[in-house]
Amino acid sequence: MLVTLLSGDKPRSAILTVLLLGVLICLAGAPFLFPGVRSLETAATICIFILLVASYDLLLGYTGIVSFAHTMFFGLGAYGVALSATHLGRGWGALVVGSLSGAIAAALLALVIGLFSLRVRAIFFAMITLAVASAVAVLVSQLFNITGGEDGLTYRIPRELTPAFRMGELFGVRLNGRILNYYLVFICCFLLFLFLLRVVNSPFGRVLQAIRENDFRAEAIGYRVVWYRTAATCLSAAIAALAGSLYAIWLRYVGPDTTLSFEIMLDILLMVVIGGMGTMYGAVLGAVIFVLAQNYLQALMGVAASATEGVPILPLFLDPNRWLLWLGLLFILSVYFFPTGIVGRLRAGR
Amino acid sequence: MSDPVLELSGLHTDIAQYHILEGVDLSVPRGQVTMLLGRNGVGKTTTLRTIMGHWAAKSGTIRYDAQDITGWPTPARARAGIGFVPEDMGIFSDLTVEENMVLAAASGPLDPARLTRIFAAFPPLKTFWTAEAGNLSGGQKQMLSIARAMAEERILYLIDEPTKGLAPAIVSTMAGALRDLKAQGASILLVEQNFAVAKALGDHAAVMEGGRIVWTGPMAELAADTALQERLMGLNMEVQG
């Protein structure tokens, strides 16, 4: 049953299995295991980034396509929900319409980019995606009347998903719409992640892997490489857009910095590389480590700095303001020691 | 000569600024093995890759099974029944032997009877069926490469140096498999540097020099004439074989 759920793609490492189960339990029980606004924010961000990174892994890890437009697709989904909620009013229908419109718009844009540039060399495709993503970011910023420009958009979502909606108490935790909103995000991300696992383990996914390894050979067997690459790009874009929609539903705000910035694109790249490309499970570990480090490393360093107050020089290095330096160092070390990502390393060390 | 399955006429191919094929004319008879011979760098691999569509022909025509396929994309040529075994084997190392074979049957599921024949020809593939193809030995990878081409019914096989760098025992397995393929009536255009194998398998031979076919005739005639071999290829089959 569990193997069927995972589409036969078992973790293939005891440590990895334990880690993945740990992440699943922590995320499934986050509102009760780690009560508090900040921890719930972190858990929801982890869920969304797992999905976003997994959709990018479909492109980079399974198909061998380097794209810099993934945040653009993420943003399209987020703005889809924001615009729909703004213009159609508060309601479930607006969320569904916005999510679907964002996903369709992302898939169509991916189709156009793919048909124009996937026939040529990989570097050209990467450059095209970078140019289009930058153009869309500028456009969103300039079209102030529609998108809210740099300020972004704030909108209302159904009351059942907001803290104002109260439902009593369970295990000492006050149940409210925010927790419902979290479970909406968690369940959607979980199901879409399982869908991606199904895709990469299907005959379609095998063809993508064959194309990544040797596109000439895949063509010589009879597969239309451009068609498969374009289909993978569209699918990946649509899933990224759905992740963006969930982010917009969770935040109740969208802006260029939260959904379209190139910084997010770099974060996604790092999460894929740290977790392990072409594994799907790498997206889980990469997103968990990265988001936790982004949210808690600074606080952890503050504690470490106070604990080492008596030691000369060390508190200077552990100053919370230097958290980005340590984050960078952590990534350099992880890429150095785990060139195939954490999942690749764990699987090799079976 | 029987009805040709493949005819190349005045085929020219450039790779970057280099003019590699300079008017190849070749006829490959149906149901027989044609050896494509010649020194290194004369254009044998480029000929196969141009037939497969990996390199675009600059001019000339490729007629296959009574159709002009010169402008066809590679996947269409493969689906029309041309199986290609490249020199570098081109196996998908991250996938298992099974996944490699399933992918090779691009038009539908693997035929069990065909798979049984493949296992009989290449027993190690059955042993390592669920192993990652990248972990196979060189000989086993070559077996997989040929087995992939055999995963579906093909009209024409283009095989590029299948015995290159293999141990004698594996060479003999490979030759046996090609003999079986020939016995099943397949048409084969084979580039082969091992003259013992070439002599044993070939019905016809075409010798290339400077991007052109400079001699065609029965393989037996070439095998018997050492002076001709010396003149065409600078080699003597008796010594090599």
Across the interface, of A216, A221, A278, the residue whose CB is closest to B54 is A216
pLDDT of residue A298: 84
Arithmetic mean of pLDDT, A57-76: 95
First to last CA, chain A: 24
**A350 — contact with chain B (CB < 8 Å)?**
no
What percent of chain A shows pLDDT beyond 90? 74
Arithmetic mean of pLDDT, A35-55: 96
Backbone CA torsion sign across A83, A84, A90, A96 = negative
Contact residues, chain B, for A224 at CB < 8 Å: 73, 75
What is the C-alpha to C-alpha distance for residues A192 and A198, in angstroms, rounded to an integer? 10
Q: Do A214 and B95 touch (CB under 8 A)?
A: no
Of residues A322 and A108, more confidently modeled: A108
B188: distance to nearest CA of chain A, Å? 16
Q: Do A220 and B78 touch (CB under 8 A)?
A: yes
Q: Do A221 and B95 touch (CB under 8 A)?
A: no
Arithmetic mean of pLDDT, A162-184: 91
Of residues A334 and A37, more confidently modeled: A37
Where does the pLDDT of residue B241 fall: very low under 50, low under 70, confident under 90, or very high at 90 and above? very low
- Estimate to the nearest angstrom the gap between the alpha carbon of A119 and the chain centroid: 27
What is the C-alpha to C-alpha distance for residues B32 and B43, in angstroms, rounded to an integer? 22
3-state secondary structure chain B: CCCEEEEEEEEEEEECCEEEEEEEEEEEECCCEEEEEECCCCCHHHHHHHHHCCCCCCEEEEEECCEECCCCCHHHHHHCCEEEECCCCCCCCCCEHHHHHHHHCCCCCCCHHHHHHHHHHCHHHHHCCCCEHHHCCHHHHHHHHHHHHCCCCCCEEEEECCCCCCCHHHHHHHHHHHHHHHHCCCEEEEECCCHHHHHHHCCEEEEEECCEEEEEEEHHHHHHCHHHHHHHHCCCHHHHC
Of residues A3 and A39, more confidently modeled: A39
Selection from A271, A300, A264, A267 nearest residue A288 by Cα: A271
Where does the pLDDT of residue A350 fall: very low under 50, low under 70, confident under 90, or very high at 90 and above? low
Where does the pLDDT of residue A123 fall: very low under 50, low under 70, confident under 90, or very high at 90 and above? confident
**A224 — contact with chain B (CB < 8 Å)?**
yes
How many contacts (CB atoms, under 8 Å) link A and B? 58
In this predicted complex, what is the ipTM?
0.86
Contact residues, chain B, for A213 at CB < 8 Å: 92-95
Q: What are phi and psi of A162, to 5 degrees?
A: -110, 160
Selection from A281, A338, A200 nearest residue A10 by Cα: A281
Where does the pLDDT of residue B236 fall: very low under 50, low under 70, confident under 90, or very high at 90 and above? low
Annotate A306-322 with DSSP letters as a single string.
HHTTTSSSHHHHT-GGG
Where does the pLDDT of residue A250 fall: very low under 50, low under 70, confident under 90, or very high at 90 and above? very high
Question: Reading across the β-sheet that carries B82-85, which strands appear in turn?
Answer: B82-85, B156-160, B187-191, B33-38, B204-209, B212-218
What percent of chain B shows pLDDT beyond 70? 96
Chain B residue with Cα closest to A223: B75
State the CATH number of the domain containing residue A229: 1.10.3470
Give residues 70 to 89 of A whose Cβ lies within 8 Å of B: none
Arithmetic mean of pLDDT, A63-68: 93
Selection from A155, A153, A180, A186 nearest residue A168 by Cα: A180
Arithmetic mean of pLDDT, A230-245: 97
Contact residues, chain B, for A278 at CB < 8 Å: 94
What is the C-alpha to C-alpha distance for residues B48 and B58, in angstroms, rounded to an integer? 15
pLDDT of residue B68: 97
pLDDT of residue B164: 87
- For B82-134, the pLDDT digits (tens) are 999 999 888 999 999 999 999 999 888 999 999 999 999 999 999 999 999 99
- Burial-class residue A253 by CB neighbours within 10 Å (0-12, 13-18, 19+): middle
Q: Do B107 and A222 touch (CB under 8 A)?
A: yes
Chain B residue with Cα closest to A201: B99
**B135 — contact with chain A (CB < 8 Å)?**
no
Selection from A210, A238, A235, A213 nearest residue A223 by Cα: A210
Where does the pLDDT of residue A55 fall: very low under 50, low under 70, confident under 90, or very high at 90 and above? very high
Do the beta carbons of residue A49 and residue A216 sit within 8 Å? Answer: no
Q: Do A221 and B103 touch (CB under 8 A)?
A: yes
Arithmetic mean of pLDDT, A36-59: 97
Range in A74-88, A237-251, B100-114 with the lowest mean pLDDT: B100-114
**B84 — contact with chain A (CB < 8 Å)?**
yes
Centre a 10 Å sphere on the Cβ of residue B238 and count the other Cβ atoms it contains: 12
Across the interface, of B74, B75, B103, the residue whose CB is closest to A210 is B103
Name B222's Cβ contacts closer than 8 Å, sequence gap at least 6: B37, B205, B207, B215, B228, B229, B232, B237
Is the per-residue pLDDT at A220 higher than 60?
A: yes
What is the C-alpha to C-alpha distance for residues A187 and A318, in angstroms, rounded to an integer? 38
Q: Which of B74, B82, B94, B152 to mutate to test the interface with A (most CBs of A within 10 A)?
A: B74
- For A267-306, the pLDDT digits (tens) are 999 999 999 999 999 999 999 999 999 889 888 888 888 8
Q: Do B75 and A210 touch (CB under 8 A)?
A: no
Q: Do B106 and A223 touch (CB under 8 A)?
A: yes
Where does the pLDDT of residue B145 fall: very low under 50, low under 70, confident under 90, or very high at 90 and above? very high
Q: Do A213 and B102 touch (CB under 8 A)?
A: no
Three-state secondary structure call for residue A173? strand
Do the beta carbons of residue A318 and residue A301 sit within 8 Å? Answer: yes
Domains of chain B: 4-91+155-240 (3.40.50.300)
Across the interface, of B73, B79, B92, the residue whose CB is closest to A210 is B92
**B102 — contact with chain A (CB < 8 Å)?**
yes
Helix axes A177-200, A37-60, angle to 10 degrees: 20
- For B212-232, the pLDDT digits (tens) are 999 999 999 999 988 888 888
- For B51-89, the pLDDT digits (tens) are 999 999 999 999 999 999 999 999 999 999 999 999 988
The token pair that represents A214 in the structure block: 């040797």
pLDDT of residue A122: 74
Contact residues, chain B, for A210 at CB < 8 Å: 92, 95, 103
Centre a 10 Å sphere on the Cβ of residue B62 and count the other Cβ atoms it contains: 23
Do the beta carbons of residue A78 and residue A254 sit within 8 Å? Answer: yes
Is the per-residue pLDDT at B239 higher than 50?
A: no
Arithmetic mean of pLDDT, A161-176: 88
> Considering its fold, how many domains does chain A have in total?
1
The domain containing residue A149 runs over which residues? 2-348
Where does the pLDDT of residue A231 fall: very low under 50, low under 70, confident under 90, or very high at 90 and above? very high
pLDDT of residue B237: 53
Q: Do A209 and B95 touch (CB under 8 A)?
A: yes
Contact residues, chain B, for A225 at CB < 8 Å: 75
What is the C-alpha to C-alpha distance for residues A15 and A285, in angstroms, rounded to an integer? 12
Give residues 275 to 304 of A whose Cβ lies within 8 Å of B: 278
The token pair that represents B101 in the structure block: 């074979």
